[in-house]
Every structure is written in structure tokens, then in C-alpha cells.
Chain A
Amino acid sequence: MRSHSLRTIRILFSALVFICFFLVFADFRYLIPTKYINVLLYLQFIPSALKFYGLGTMAAGGFLIVLALTVLTGRTYCSFLCPLGIGQDIFSRIGGKFKKKFRRYGYRKPYTILRYSILGLTLIFTMTWGIYVVTLLDPYSIFGRFITYFIKPLVIWINNFLAGIFGKFDIYTLNNIHVKGFPLVVYSIPVAFFILVGLLSFTRGRLYCNTVCPVGTLLGLISKVSVFRIKFDESACTKCGRCAVRCKSSCIDFLRTDVDVSRCVDCFNCINICPEGALSYGLTGLKKKKHRTDESRRRMVVGSVLMLFGMSSVSKAQEKPVPVPKKPSTVKENKTSSVCPPGGISIEKFNKVCTACSLCITACPNGVLQPAFKEYGLTGMMQPVMNYHRSFCTYNCTICTEVCPTNALQPLLLEAKKLTQIGKTHFIKDNCIVKTEKTNCGACSEACPTKAVHMIPYEGNLVIPEVTEDLCIGCGHCEFACPTVPYKAIFVDGNPVHQVAKKPENEKSDVQTPTDFPF
């Protein structure tokens, strides 16, 4: 196959994939149905592999397709399907426009020891310790965090700007959305990776993919036996070197007419640049050239990775100011456990499978899912946790459980979700307005969808909340609605293992349909 259109196909296809991923993560109006999101995410390697590991069904077999694709075609995944890879191509392109020399990649030796060490350590860590290294290095999750943490707020800001202008003309098709930042510390890892990936791709093409990314390294290893690959026609090659200069993986050693398949991401740029048509993509020949596996002394990348683990923790969540009642509340909420989202089954199980891709965080229409700082311990940083000071889990919604690509949050039917008790609410009478101010409030009970929180007679005409724990599902609407500060008078304590709540039973009241006006 000597097709010059391969590159065009690659660019068009990857642009489409990128736009889809971008829209899914930046969809601040929640317009994209989850079934389409699931289709898009099906082939993402690590989420699919994790889901497969948990479920063992072909419904989660996307990564097997990727493996087969790699055996057949090489690392096409990295150029066609990986959103982070495509994003880096965009960066490289800008880098090339910005400064001509960045496009002059040229052949470089691989950081063989480094890349296989990262792959090996990732595997070892994941099998013996936990998901955490995968969380850091899964390219899909890194991409998801980039969009959720940096780009989506920007998109909303533009939306708000336009909504403001439209509003002046009485048009309300766009609506203003309050942008809430995350706790500052959780930005540290995405920022560090943004600098690392951004800088490397800006100046050195796919160096990140060929050095740090464990998926890239693994697929590179498999590519060594791939059926289709980039080939040299040695008789046609004039050794002009244009291909090597154009190769963003720096993997074409034109002097020896050799392509390092483990690093080649099948971008097909070299085919188009070759004036002699000496490069083509096709069935591999029998001729094999041995690679010299030189050790690299470069420590820059190692340094960058190590830097991530030594980050300081300094900051506070920015929360919406709440009105101040006359007397501040005095009793501190005694939370023994954080609240993990519905479908997580248990915090322990959830923490093991979530790669903190942030898809649930960005998909939650109520914004109650927030990246954790220390709620799950340092290793669970960035995994989603319910934050009831910010919002509450809306009763008629299962979106987070539907979109999760790793099955860390298992899909729940609405009826099941409505009985999934992720925590239990606790009432602190001494903080309650009804007791401290001797006035009616009832904000908590009003908000409660199951009437686990209900009002009972108190002094005089006053009524005060009471909790039926069995009925509570831990949605946090009561905690969110409670107006006391600094401490809430009602709060949800997480269930480390999710339980089943009692279905609210209801009896008809004795109020009758009137036959005449009572006045």
C-alpha cells in the first residue's frame, strides 16, 4: 500500500475523535446521552482493561480489540484513538509553526531503560499496591483531567460571556453558570502533567508517548510483531533524511533505512514527505534489522516524574459564601467517613478501580462530585468524592454510574440508586436554628426526597427535624440546604460499604376530597 491518503485519513479521523472527547468532557449543558459516551470510551485501553478485569465480559473487551489492532497495524491506537496522543499532535503542530526548529525532529535513540522501567514499575505497583500509578499515567485519564480542570471552566466562562450579551437582548437560550473551582491542591498533578506533556510535545513530538506513557510502551512492545508497518524501499531511498526530520517519534534512522516500530505511532507523515516514494505502509517483509538498545543518561524525564511525588500541600477549597445566622453553630460535625458516589459499592473497592479520569465529575449535573484531596488518603487524590457543602446528589439521576469507563462506579438502575445508601444523615440539635433561634426552618426536611428527615413537634408551634436512618440514602440534600454556619446542624456520614435503604412507605392521609368550599 503506497497510499498518500493515509495521512489525510489519520488527520481527519483523529480530529473527529478529539472533538468527540473534547465535547464529552466539556459538555457543560449535559446534552450528550451517556450511551454515546460509552461508545466513544469503549476502546480506551486502560479503562476498558480495568472494566474487563472487574467484569470479565466482552462488553468490556475494548482493550482486546486494541491489542488485536496493534498486532495487525502497529501503534495506530496512539495516533487515531488516544485523545492525549492526538492532543499532543496538535501541540507539536503549533510548536512547529511557532518555531521552525521544533519540527526538525531527526532520529534520536530511545530511552529504552527508562520506558520499560516505567512500564514494569507501573505493572508491579498496580498488581501489588494499587491503582495509583495508573491513575497518574493513564493517558485517557490525564486527558480527561486536562479538559475538566482547565478547559471546561474556560468554555463556561465563554458561555457566561455570551449569555450575558444575549441576556441584554432578552435571549435566554444560553444561561449563566457559576464556575466553581476545585480545592487548589488537586490541581497540582494535572498542572505538573500539563507542563510535562505540553512541553515535551511542543518541542519533541511524541517523546512523552515513547518514554513515559505505559500504554505507549506496552503497545510499542506488541508492535514489534505487527503485521503492517512503515517500510523502506531501499532501492528508491536517496538518504535525503526528510522523513527523519518529519518524524515526531524521532524513530526513523534513515541512514540505516530503519524504522523503530516500537516508537512509530503510524502518523504516516513520512510517507507523504518522501519525494521518492520510498516509504510505504504495508505488510512487513522478512528482513529484520537489529536495534541497538543504547542506555540513556538523560534524567530530565525521571526528574519530572519524581517531582510529582514531592509536591507540597497548601490550600483551601473555595466555597460559596453562605448567609450568616445570628448565632454561629457550635458543635462540629463528626464525620467518620467520606462519602463515595453511588455505584461505588464500597470505598475500598472503588478506590482500587478508579483512575480519576474525572468523567463523572464533569458529567454530574449537580456538581456534587468533586476531586478528592485527602478524603481517601493521598493515594486517592483526584478520585471523585461527594461534597455536600457544594451541592447534593439529585434523587432522579444515575449519570455518574452510567458514564464510568472503568466500572469503579457500577451502573445502577434508577430504582436501585434510590435505595442505595451511600451514607447516613445525623442531626445535631444544638446547632439547629429551631433550637438556637426558636424559629421555624425545616430546610433539611423540605429537601429530603425520602422523608428520612421529617419534622416533629417541638416547643409551641415549632417543629424540629428528626431522622429515620433506615430511609436515608445519604444524598446530602439536607446537609446542603442547612443554613447554619460554620457547622451544619445536619450532615451525612459516609458508609464505607454502601448499604440498602428501606423503601419509603407511604399511607394515604385522612384529608378528603372536598365537595364544597370550606369558606
Chain B
Amino acid sequence: MKRRDFIKKSAGAGIVAGAALTMGGYDNLWASAPAANKYDLVAIMGGEPDAMFDLAIMELGGMGSFVKKGQKVLVKPNIGWDVIPELAANTNPLLVKRIIKHCFDAGAKEVYVFDHTCDNWVNCYRNSGIEKAAKSAGAKVVPANSEKYFQSIDIPGGVKLQKAKVHELLLDTDVLINVPVLKNHNSTRMTCCLKNNMGVVWDRGYWHSNNLNQCIADYALYERKPALNVIDAYNVMVQHGPQGVSKEDIVQMKSQILTTDWVAGDTAAAKLLGVDVEKIEYIPIAQKMGLGTMNLESLNIKKIKM
């Protein structure tokens, strides 16, 4: 059910009741802010991307737990491919838009969106639907097509990756919200939270030629970590990833995972995708490096079905 349909139907059932349903979430958002981070991971299933996010973020105490008034926020979706939203090679634009709205509602001063794309960046931004969605929510959609936008950083403790060039906005913003789309990946088997970082850096070729899995884990050591990871598993590309060929590659899972632990997020996502998490080498490596846990049993997980 689309949000628009939902509102229409609620109107039929009774405007007051409908309004209470749709608006109730935001009231709670402010009321329940102190109860932040009761859960390590929130998984939700069965709704539209934006409606699922509304509910799930509430369980984490609302966006106010992550974004403080006056802060600059970087929302980093996957916009890697020149592909339409239905084929799910990029993050769902509806979700991106809703996250940006929550950021502004929480008092964000500015919200930025970019990705260092694999295909032609103008086409990716446009055809993914993300540019339009993000701009309509008031975010600044920023280019990442030129090395000029990237600055050198050090990654102390990196095994293979000790230096990288990251987008200047990663350094200039206060909060990072990582919004990967869950996909099959041809060589690492899955792309999600940790691998989404490849769109923040300039020189991906170095990663590919210097033990890709180790580099992915190494980069996660870098101090600018996401405050929140929102995994888009609404439409999931289960084969021919990360670009996909046609709609046959997509399975609609109508799911979403919110977590502050990206190793746990990737572990849960791997289960959703049906891939043995041990085979996605960068995840065990990242756990070993102390970047998070693969042991979901040890976490306080909230599961919601809509």
C-alpha cells in the first residue's frame, strides 16, 4: 500500500483516526527521545520504505538520538549505477527522502547527499531518482565526480589500506548516516553497510588491486563512522549484482534494518540475502579488527512486522 493510498483509505475510515495514525509517530518521536538506543538493531518488514523507516527510527528513539539541532548531516546512499529505482541497484529514493526529512525535523542545519558513482554520475544521480527525491526534501545533492572534491586521510591500523582520499563533505559534516541498498555482489558476494563506503573514497582501483576484502574492512577503521546505518532491503538484487541486468534479479523483501553496528547490520543482511556470512570475507575480518559483532544473539534486536 502506498502512502498516498493509505491516506486516502484512512480518510474513508475516518479523518481523525487516520490523522492520528499518520501523525502519531512524530509526536512520539519527540516524547520518547531520552529512551535512545534501547536496541542495537531494529529490523522491520512488510511496509513501504518510508513508512518502515518512520516506525523503525522511533524504536531507536527518533532521529533526534543521532542528529542534534544545528548539525550538518551527510546521508550516503548507494547511487552507483545508471539504473531505474525499480531495478534496485541504488538505494530506494523514497527512503532517502524520508531520512532527510527526519534529519531536518530533528533540527539538522544542512543535509548533503552524494556518491562517487561507477557509471556516468549525472545519469546515475538522475535515473536513480535520488537527486530529485533528495532535493525535494531540501537536501543538497553534491557532485563527487572529480578528484578535486577528495582529501587525503590516514587510516592508522589499516593492514592494506593506510591512506585514502575521501570526499570533503565527509570531513565537513557532523553526522554520517549510511544508507546502503542490500545487493548481491559478483566478487565479495554481498554489498551492504561496509562496502557502501567505497562511494565515499576516490581511488577504488587501489582497493580492487590490493585485497579488496581487507581494504573494505581497513577503511571501516577510519574515525568518521556512521552514526546510523539504514539498510534498504525493500527490493533486493539477489543475483548479477551489484549492477543487475533485469527485474529477474530482484526479489521484493520489503525489509529494512537500522543499526549502529555495521558488522551486525551486514551479518543480518547476509542472512536476509541467504549468503553464508563467513564467505563474505570482509565481515569476519572486520569483526576480528573489533569493528562490530557478527554474533546477533548477543544483541538486543527489535523485530517489527507491518
Q: B206: nearest residue on chain A (CB-CB)?
A: A323
A514 touches B147 (CB 8 A): no
B271 touches A396 (CB 8 A): no
A440 touches B148 (CB 8 A): no
A313 proximal to B (CB < 8 A): no
Contact of B211 among A396, A439, A445, A451 (CB under 8 A): A439
0 or 1 for each of A482-515: is its CB under 8 Å from B? (1 = yes): 0110000000000000000000101111011110
0 or 1 for each of A429-463: is its CB under 8 Å from B? (1 = yes): 00001000101111101111111001100000101
A440 neighbours in B (Cβ, 8 Å): 187-188, 211-213, 281
A504 neighbours in B (Cβ, 8 Å): 245-246
0 or 1 for each of A352-393: is its CB under 8 Å from B? (1 = yes): 000000000000011000000000000000000000000000
B82 proximal to A (CB < 8 A): yes
B243 touches A449 (CB 8 A): yes
What's the Cα separation between A507 and B238 when bound, in Å?
A: 12
B140 touches A172 (CB 8 A): yes
Q: A367: nearest residue on chain B (CB-CB)?
A: B120
B208 touches A513 (CB 8 A): no
B43 proximal to A (CB < 8 A): yes
B251 proximal to A (CB < 8 A): yes
What's the Cα separation between A518 and B123 when bound, in Å?
A: 36
B301 neighbours in A (Cβ, 8 Å): 519
0 or 1 for each of B43-76: is its CB under 8 Å from A? (1 = yes): 1010000000000000000000000000000000
- Distance between B268 CB and nearest chain A CB, rounded to angstroms: 5
0 or 1 for each of B212-252: is its CB under 8 Å from A? (1 = yes): 11100000000000000000000010111011011011011
- Distance between B77 CB and nearest chain A CB, rounded to angstroms: 17
- Distance between B264 CB and nearest chain A CB, rounded to angstroms: 10
What's the Cα separation between A14 and B80 when bound, in Å?
A: 44
A288 proximal to B (CB < 8 A): no
Contact of B245 among A439, A441, A483, A506 (CB under 8 A): A506
A443-B205, A484-B209, A519-B271 known; A506+B240 contact, CB < 8 A: yes
- Distance between B180 CB and nearest chain A CB, rounded to angstroms: 15
A439 neighbours in B (Cβ, 8 Å): 210-214
B110 touches A170 (CB 8 A): yes
B140 touches A170 (CB 8 A): yes
Q: B208, B209, B236 — which one has the most chain A CB atoms within 10 A of its CB?
A: B209
A440-B212, A483-B205 known; A507+B274 contact, CB < 8 A: no
B203 touches A176 (CB 8 A): no
B238 neighbours in A (Cβ, 8 Å): 509, 511
A395 proximal to B (CB < 8 A): yes
B255 neighbours in A (Cβ, 8 Å): 514, 517
A440-B213, A463-B187 known; A451+B240 contact, CB < 8 A: yes
A34 proximal to B (CB < 8 A): no
- Distance between B302 CB and nearest chain A CB, rounded to angstroms: 11
B127 proximal to A (CB < 8 A): yes
A177 proximal to B (CB < 8 A): yes
- Distance between B88 CB and nearest chain A CB, rounded to angstroms: 13
B246 touches A322 (CB 8 A): no
A394-B82, A511-B251 known; A506+B246 contact, CB < 8 A: yes
Contact of A455 among B43, B187, B204, B279 (CB under 8 A): B187
B248 touches A463 (CB 8 A): no
What's the Cα separation between A410 and B301 when bound, in Å?
A: 58
0 or 1 for each of B142-159: is its CB under 8 Å from A? (1 = yes): 110111110000000000
- Distance between B300 CB and nearest chain A CB, rounded to angstroms: 13
Q: B141: nearest residue on chain A (CB-CB)?
A: A172
Contact of A508 among B43, B122, B248 (CB under 8 A): B248
Q: Give the tally of cross-chain contacts (CB within 8 A).
A: 156
A366 touches B143 (CB 8 A): no
What's the Cα separation between A518 and B204 when bound, in Å?
A: 32
A325 proximal to B (CB < 8 A): yes
What's the Cα separation between A445 and B208 when bound, in Å?
A: 12
Q: B142: nearest residue on chain A (CB-CB)?
A: A172
A397 neighbours in B (Cβ, 8 Å): 120, 123
0 or 1 for each of B183-207: is its CB under 8 Å from A? (1 = yes): 0011110000000000000011110
Contact of A30 among B122, B213, B239, B245 (CB under 8 A): B122
B253 touches A513 (CB 8 A): yes
A437 neighbours in B (Cβ, 8 Å): 209-211
B21 neighbours in A (Cβ, 8 Å): none
B209 touches A483 (CB 8 A): yes
A513 touches B252 (CB 8 A): yes
B119 proximal to A (CB < 8 A): yes
B214 neighbours in A (Cβ, 8 Å): 439
B268 neighbours in A (Cβ, 8 Å): 517, 519
B296 proximal to A (CB < 8 A): yes
- Distance between B135 CB and nearest chain A CB, rounded to angstroms: 11
- Distance between B248 CB and nearest chain A CB, rounded to angstroms: 4
A396 touches B82 (CB 8 A): yes
A323-B209, A509-B239, A514-B255 known; A160+B148 contact, CB < 8 A: yes
B272 proximal to A (CB < 8 A): yes
What's the Cα separation between A402 and B186 when bound, in Å?
A: 34
What's the Cα separation between A481 and B146 when bound, in Å?
A: 16
B303 proximal to A (CB < 8 A): yes
- Distance between A505 CB and nearest chain B CB, rounded to angstroms: 9
Contact of A518 among B82, B120, B206, B271 (CB under 8 A): B271
- Distance between A459 CB and nearest chain B CB, rounded to angstroms: 14
Q: B119, B214, B246 — which one has the most chain A CB atoms within 10 A of its CB?
A: B119
A170 neighbours in B (Cβ, 8 Å): 110, 140
User: 24 A-B Cβ contacts within 8 A?
Assistant: A322-B205, A394-B82, A394-B120, A396-B82, A433-B208, A437-B209, A440-B187, A440-B213, A441-B209, A445-B186, A445-B187, A448-B243, A454-B240, A463-B186, A463-B187, A483-B206, A504-B246, A506-B240, A509-B251, A511-B236, A513-B251, A514-B253, A514-B255, A518-B271
- Which 8 residue pairs across A and B have the least CB separation, nearest first? A442-B187, A325-B209, A175-B143, A483-B209, A176-B146, A483-B205, A323-B206, A439-B211
Besides A442-B186, A455-B187, A511-B273, 17 more A-B contacts (Cβ < 8 Å) are: A160-B148, A175-B143, A176-B145, A326-B209, A397-B120, A397-B123, A433-B208, A449-B243, A461-B281, A463-B186, A481-B118, A483-B208, A508-B248, A511-B238, A513-B251, A516-B45, A519-B301
Residues of B within 8 A of A (CB): 43, 45, 82, 110, 118-120, 122-123, 127, 140-143, 145-149, 185-188, 203-206, 208-214, 236, 238-240, 242-243, 245-246, 248-249, 251-255, 267-268, 271-274, 279, 281, 296, 301, 303
